A and B are shown apart, each in its own frame.
Chain A
Amino acid sequence: MTTTTADSGELGSSPTGEAAGGKGLKTGALGLVSSLVIGVASTAPAYSLAASLGFVTLVAFKYSPAVMLVAFVPMLFIAAAYFYLNHADPDCGTTFTWVTRAIGPRTGWMSGWGILVTDLVVMPSLASIAGYYSFTLFNANGLANSTFWVTFVGVAWIIVMTAICYIGIELSAFTQVLLLGAELIILTIFAAVALIRVYTQHITHSIRPEWVWLDPFKLSISTLSVGMLTAVFIYWGWDTAVTVNEESKDAKRTPGIAALLSTLVLLAIYLIVSIAAQSFHGPGFLTNNSSDILNALGHDVLGSPWDKLLIIAVLTSASASTQTTILPAARSSLSMAVHKAFPPRFGSINSKFLSPGFSTLVFGAVAVAWYIGLTILSPGVVLANSILALGFGISFYYGMTGFACVIYYRRILFKSVKNFVFIGLAPLIGGLMLAAMFVISIFYYSNPANSASGGQAWFKFISFNVHVLGLHLYVTKGVSPILVIGVGLLLIGFPLMLLWRLKHADFFRRSREAAVSLEASAPPLTLGVIPVTD
């Protein structure tokens, strides 16, 4: 009989006499600062801005700060779903397992697939930003503009980051605080300098900030939806701040405070930087330089060599973001394998490094292949296609998590006003908003003229014209790469799921569950035992 630890208590002789399974050593409780750092660093503000600010502006023009503000609403509501689903039993949950329990195995499988696809779609943008900004750091502008060399460094970046996750190298908590602190300070300095110069000097095309930039009602529903679909990406990863907190030192207060503080930090930094960025040279500059926004602006705002600080911030941020993409991707496929929804090899743990070895390596390899393939298929617009397509995957599986929360807790929703608002209403509205953005954006991008890829289209033989509920879906001479990547990759999951179901029906025989109280632990989802070592 082995003593295992769950959360706290003394070795062996537990005075509280907890149930079987026992209590052992105290786990590594996370303090407020660590929880905050994990949440904000996983969101990667500098990289998120570098990757997406130009594309949000492309859609919403001078109202991009408003879009960034509104895009936070569904993400906040979905974070409530993450919080409560995680709260039921922190030892049993990921989006894949939650959706499987609440809605059913098929939807659960598709949500797991959604996570994997979304993590894959973001990789080329991370790699190309890492490649491009690495060269500009050393003033190698010729190399920075060479697709071959940027891709070369980008591929090396994916390989190194995969190795780091495989071996399990971690930065100390102190180093993480330093890096994130530096990132936030540099972004703040950048915004402050830009705004001071706008007010005190004559800068080309500069405009002073106006309150109307924050007014989302100036935009049409369609523009707002498409803008938000791009902007949800900047908050992607923030939910980890809510879920890691189950292990916090003061589990009653820390999670709430950490989530609230990280919210304020992120909202503030995104609003200040997006306002400062577009007032400096006007929104036109942002759309013209959408693929290297912080490099182009940093150079003009801070001047050499101080603009290198901004580039370093983007690179450290991108490295945190790459890790917080590879780690959850590998763990999601591990999760699916453990529950017999994916080939068992994905569930294996490397015996030396204790990492989900096979899952990590496969994800790294697929990411490299996808990045190179996409570079060949859509030359020059890899970043645009990836960032604009990403919102579909995020909306899909975050939305599913929101719906799963409402359905899983359906029996206790009406027990208190608090339950109804935070476990029911908020996740439901969040899910519906994401679903609406998803659908409206499909209509928008069905016209290749609306994509940032300059009318680039794939599968040029496809052509059709449909009117649905007053909306016009017209695909002429091909489909925008954004739709193929964003929606197509999700759809591929469906036949794969049916294929898996043919031979491995066990997983799909599960019945749905519902929580009877907030405190009750959910029973384990595992259907059988699979070998856990390589």
Chain B
Amino acid sequence: MAGDIILGYDGSEGSKAALRVAVAVAKAFDAPLTVVFGYEPNPMGGETADYKNQLEKIGTDHLDAAVSEAKAIDPSVATEPIVAALRPVESLLQASLEREARVIVVGGSGERPIVGAILGSVPHKLLHRSTVPVLVVPAPED
């Protein structure tokens, strides 16, 4: 298992656009596609157990949807979902290392740069920290 295409998926419009591109890239390279949903409750404040379980359910639902969508686009691409108890950026970086990924594909959030800077932007952080190429797919215009 190496040379995977890693896709960050959270059910947003941007990540849906990224899914279509990621399937095409996986097909072109004849590489397996790994879809990642990362989450991590803020440890401040404790009481995280049930919250964590709920997040995991959401992640599983999103990824089930992503896998069936990928199968629908191209059944020949091998797709594997991963729900990770890590922040989104960390989970993508770690998946890219462990899978010796070819590329990480994520959706652009479509947020204005200043909003992204305040709220934290996954593509932005990835571009700075990833050791493999990062492909940012813009969310479709409304």
Contact = CB atoms under 8 A, between A and B. Distances in A.
A334 B98 CA distance: 34
A122 interface: no
Contacts of B119: 167, 169
A423 to B, nearest CB: 20
B57 A93 contact: no
B81 A532 contact: no
A10 B42 contact: no
Interface in A1-29: 2-6, 10-13, 24-28
Contacts of B46: 42, 94, 239-240, 243-244, 328, 331
B50 A338 contact: yes
Interface string B29-45: 00000000011111111
A97 interface: yes
- Which of A24, A323, A335 neighbours the largest number of chain B CB atoms within 10 Å of its CB? A24
Given A26-B94, A94-B47, A94-B50, A3 B58 contact: no
B55 A332 contact: no
A70 B61 CA distance: 50
B51 A2 contact: no
Contacts of A93: 49
B138 interface: no
Interface residues of A, number: 57
Interface in B40-89: 40-61, 63-64, 80-87
A351 B46 CA distance: 21
- Which of B1, B46, B83, B119 neighbours the largest number of chain A CB atoms within 10 Å of its CB? B46
A26 B98 CA distance: 11
Contacts, number: 140
B3 interface: no
Given A91-B52, A331-B45, A532 B58 contact: yes
Contacts of B98: 10-11, 25
A189 interface: no
A91 B52 CA distance: 8
A91 B54 contact: no
A160 to B, nearest CB: 13
A455 interface: no
Interface string A84-99: 0000001111110100
B99 interface: yes
Contact of A354 (B47, B55, B82, B120): B55
B47 A170 contact: no
Contacts of A240: 43-46
Contact of B53 (A3, A30, A34, A338): A338
A320 interface: yes
A97 B84 contact: no
A331 B84 contact: no
Nearest to A347: B54
A2 B63 contact: yes
A356 interface: yes
Contact of A38 (B43, B59, B60, B64): B43
A328 B45 contact: yes
Contacts of A5: 82-86
Contact of B58 (A10, A94, A244, A533): A533
B83 A3 contact: yes
A327 interface: yes
Contacts of B48: 331
Given A42-B44, A239-B46, A25 B51 contact: no
A343 interface: no
Interface in B73-117: 80-87, 90-91, 94-95, 98-99
Given A3-B82, A12-B1, A169-B119, A91 B49 contact: yes
Nearest to A243: B46
A354 B39 contact: yes
A28 B90 contact: yes
Contacts of A243: 46
Interface string A228-247: 00000000000110011001
A349 B64 CA distance: 18
Contact of A335 (B38, B50, B56, B91): B50
Interface string B117-138: 0111000000000000000000
A532 B54 contact: yes
Contact of B51 (A167, A325, A334): A334
Nearest to B41: A331
A3 B42 contact: no
A415 B43 CA distance: 33
Contacts of B95: 11, 25
Contact of B50 (A10, A326, A334, A352): A334
Given A2-B63, A4-B60, A24 B49 contact: no
Contacts of B56: 4
Given A26-B94, A97-B50, A354-B39, A2 B44 contact: no
B44 A11 contact: no
Contacts of B64: 2
B42 to A, nearest CB: 5
A141 B56 CA distance: 49
B51 A331 contact: yes
A314 B57 CA distance: 39
A339 B57 CA distance: 15
A323 B64 CA distance: 33
9 contacts: A4-B59, A4-B60, A24-B84, A25-B84, A25-B94, A169-B118, A169-B120, A324-B44, A331-B50
Interface of A: 2-6, 10-13, 24-28, 30, 34, 38, 41-42, 90-95, 97, 167-170, 239-240, 243-244, 247, 320, 323-328, 331-332, 334-335, 338-339, 347, 349, 351-352, 354, 356, 526, 532-533
- The 6 tightest CB contacts between A and B, nearest first, are A327-B45, A335-B50, A331-B47, A240-B46, A25-B84, A328-B47
